[in-house]
Amino acid sequence: MAPVATLLLLMPLVGFLFVLVMGPALKEKVIGAIGTGVVAVSFILAVITFFMLLHRSSREVTIHLFNWINVGTLHVPAALLVDPLSITMCLFVTGISALIHLYSIGYMHGEKDFRKFFLYLNLFVFSMLLLVLANNLLLTFVGWEGVGVCSYWLVSYYFTRGSAASAGKKAFLYNRVGDFGLLVAMFLLFHHTHTLSYLGIFHVAGTLSPTVATLTVLALLLAATGKSAQIPLFNWLPDAMEGPTPVSALIHAATMVTAGVYLLVRMSPVLTMSPDGRATIAVIGGVTAFVAATIATSQQDIKKVLAFSTVSQIGYMVLAVGVGAYSAAIFLMVAHAFYKALLFLGAGSVIHSLDDEQDLRKMGGLAKYLPLTFPAFLVGWLAISGIPPFAGFFAKGDVLTNVFQHNKFLWALGVVTAILTAYYMTRLFVMTFLGTERFREVTDRHDPHESPWVMTLPLVVLSVLAIFGGIIDLPWAHGAALSGFLHPVLGYVPAVAAASTTEQWVLAAVDVLAALIGLAAAFTIWRDLKVGARFESKFFEHVWYWDDFYDATIGRPLTQMAVFDDTVVEPKVIDGAVTGVAVLIRNSAEGLRKIQSGFVRQYALAMVLGFAVIIIYLVARVH
């Protein structure tokens, strides 16, 4: 199994290095084929590893590659941990990456930096796989930073555009704050457990004191809020939509942004030790889900709606982690990867057909022009809204049922968020595909065109996954499905087992009802959109003025401080001290040089007087 899993990790790196070494002479077709091919091979290897793992009695396999760091008591090997959790992540990461690579061949066709795009994309997949497969926190951190830097490069892919460049910087800086949390968590864990390997930490996790456990969990939560765009660090994700749409689909919807949730789930034995920490996680997740959903109801940019929707959905996952429903979080992560990648790629197809127009107000009536994108988007829309039997219904239902067992208030918040989710997705769907045609001025009066097969094929595959994705963990077969598979890693019996059958049916009915309410409300409001009609709250459209809040509390004071430093501290204090010393020495020298007259008589006089003084002193002392 070791060689297969190692190859699974290394394939994208091979693709990256090959395209890098071969240089810019490579044809677009070859780059695309290699980029997609290596990730597809990775996916096949992941499937093989998965089946090999199924046939083993022990489902934790450590693959030691080489010794990486050996300093004092710190021993960090470069080793992989193949277990149900990491292989689940690998399966959907490589699977969706392969589809999105394929899609990118069509979407990025003719771009000047086509090669650069695929280089970054392959490097990203490698970093992501390293993140999930690493057997210790430090190696995970390498992957964590790797995906971060790839995200930065790809967000500012169109770096000649000022907004894209600053969006990249914003993403990078917000992530740095999160990384600080991960580093602190590592320091704490190493200090108290003397190891960074996951299995080592889990072995002694039970002996951690509640304070240490809570501090560690909060540090991990900070890391997760940075990477997974949760309150208070969620603002970077909507801006990250400046990147090309496949990047938004792959990195900023399906895979990278779920790394924070993965980290929390991975550290579940530590989380279990801190009920306070988990309560904080649950509240952060629930509130983020709700806040982001309200914002998504009022955005005008098709990708921004999806971005806030992603923040909201990850909020659900974090909420699930907070209530201890780790397998539900992973289930929603996988299902979300399916339908959100589908929605983003569908949106990309729409944007592509309208010559890069992203404003919802300039779309409408596209259903008949995009015969493949339309049904695909329809599936994605129903899946995320939580209509049975699509994947989103089961995944979200699993999360909400668990939350209901744990905290009724957060559950209510989750249901309200579900209504909002159905509402904003319906609004998006109606404004894009139904109603009057408002795109004529953007497309120079010609009809929008359907995308090439490399773009529609991933849509079809993802549609199938979004429809049937729920079967990986149906509520009446938890033990035999995903949660049963993950059980040995998470070691936590899902609370859903405690719920009675009637209760489960009622909760499911509530979910469906919530979805239908949202759907109906949005249909009534948005079916006949008049040009210029407004139903968006300014407060929501401006992201609760969250950016302005940061600007006022952090940005402006720091800018003022920098200006103060520049105009006062630097010239007056620092330069003042330096020139002050020089001036002091020069002035005293000016005075002292008058003493050196060059007249020997004066020197002699000074000497005589000096002697006289000394003698008078000596004489006076004797008496």
Partner 1 sequence: MNVPAAWYLIVAALLFGVGAFGLLTRRSALIMFMCLELMLNAVNLTFVTFSRTMSDIAGQASVFFVMVVAAAEVTVGLGIVVAVFRRRSSTSVDDLTELKG
Nearer to partner 1, 535 or 611 (CB): 611
Nearest to 333 by CA among 423, 264, 403, 236: 264
Question: Is the Cβ–Cβ distance between 164 and 242 less than 8 Å?
Answer: yes
Please choose, out of 91-99, 139-147, 481-489, 590-598, the segment that lies near partner 1 by the rule CB under 8 A.
590-598
Q: Which helix H or strand E contains 70, and what residues bound it?
A: strand 61-71
Burial class of residue 616, CB neighbours in 10 A (0-12, 13-18, 19+): exposed
The residue from 112, 530, 598, 623 that contacts partner 1 (CB under 8 A) is: 598
Per-residue x/- track, 357-376, partner 1 (CB under 8 A): --------------------
Please choose, out of 55-63, 308-316, 324-332, 588-596, the segment that lies near partner 1 by the rule CB under 8 A.
588-596
Please choose, out of 176-184, 460-468, 555-563, 596-604, the segment that lies near partner 1 by the rule CB under 8 A.
596-604
The b/e string for 41-60 (b: 16+ C-beta within 10 A; e otherwise) is bbbebbbebbeebeeeeebb
Please choose, out of 275-283, 337-345, 404-412, 599-607, the segment that lies near partner 1 by the rule CB under 8 A.
599-607
The yes or no reply on residue 596 touching partner 1 (CB under 8 A) is yes
The residue from 446, 530, 593, 621 that contacts partner 1 (CB under 8 A) is: 593
Q: Rg for the chain (alpha carbons), in Å?
A: 31
The residue from 112, 445, 446, 601 that contacts partner 1 (CB under 8 A) is: 601
Question: Is the Cβ–Cβ distance between 466 and 383 less than 8 Å?
Answer: yes
Question: Is the Cβ–Cβ distance between 131 and 140 less than 8 Å?
Answer: yes
* Least distance (Å) between residue 608 CB and partner 1: 6
Query: What is the rounded distance in angstroms from the CA atom of residue 521 to the CA atom of residue 193?
Result: 53
The yes or no reply on residue 614 touching partner 1 (CB under 8 A) is no
Question: 61: left (phi > 0), else alpha (psi -120 to 50), else beta?
Answer: beta
Please name the residue ranges forming H helices in 240-301: 245-249, 259-266, 268-272, 275-296
The residue from 531, 600, 618, 620 that contacts partner 1 (CB under 8 A) is: 600
The residue from 444, 582, 599, 622 that contacts partner 1 (CB under 8 A) is: 599
Kindly tell me the number of DSSP H helices and DSSP E strands found in the chain: 26, 2
Question: Is the Cβ–Cβ distance between 396 and 418 less than 8 Å?
Answer: yes
Please choose, out of 192-200, 238-246, 321-329, 600-608, the segment that lies near partner 1 by the rule CB under 8 A.
600-608
Nearer to partner 1, 445 or 594 (CB): 594
Nearer to partner 1, 22 or 612 (CB): 612
Give the count of residues interacting with partner 1 (CB under 8 A).
13
The residue from 25, 592, 620, 622 that contacts partner 1 (CB under 8 A) is: 592
Nearer to partner 1, 538 or 594 (CB): 594
The yes or no reply on residue 480 touching partner 1 (CB under 8 A) is no
User: Which residues lie below 8 Å from residue 289, measured CB to CB, with a gap of 6+?
Assistant: 312, 313, 315, 316, 319, 413, 414, 417
* Least distance (Å) between residue 620 CB and partner 1: 19
Nearer to partner 1, 55 or 593 (CB): 593
Nearer to partner 1, 534 or 594 (CB): 594
The residue from 552, 558, 605, 615 that contacts partner 1 (CB under 8 A) is: 605
Terminal-to-terminal C-alpha distance of the chain: 103
Question: Is the Cβ–Cβ distance between 401 and 507 less than 8 Å?
Answer: yes
Query: What is the rounded distance in angstroms from the CA atom of residue 425 to the CA atom of residue 417?
Result: 12
* Least distance (Å) between residue 595 CB and partner 1: 8
The yes or no reply on residue 608 touching partner 1 (CB under 8 A) is yes
The yes or no reply on residue 597 touching partner 1 (CB under 8 A) is yes
Query: What is the rounded distance in angstroms from the CA atom of residue 278 to the CA atom of residue 282?
Result: 6
* Least distance (Å) between residue 554 CB and partner 1: 56
* Least distance (Å) between residue 618 CB and partner 1: 16
> What three-state secondary structure class fits 494?
coil
The first and second tokens of residue 52, run together, are 């090999």
* Least distance (Å) between residue 582 CB and partner 1: 18
The yes or no reply on residue 604 touching partner 1 (CB under 8 A) is yes
Q: Would you tell me which residues interact with partner 1 (CB under 8 A)?
A: 592-601, 604-605, 608
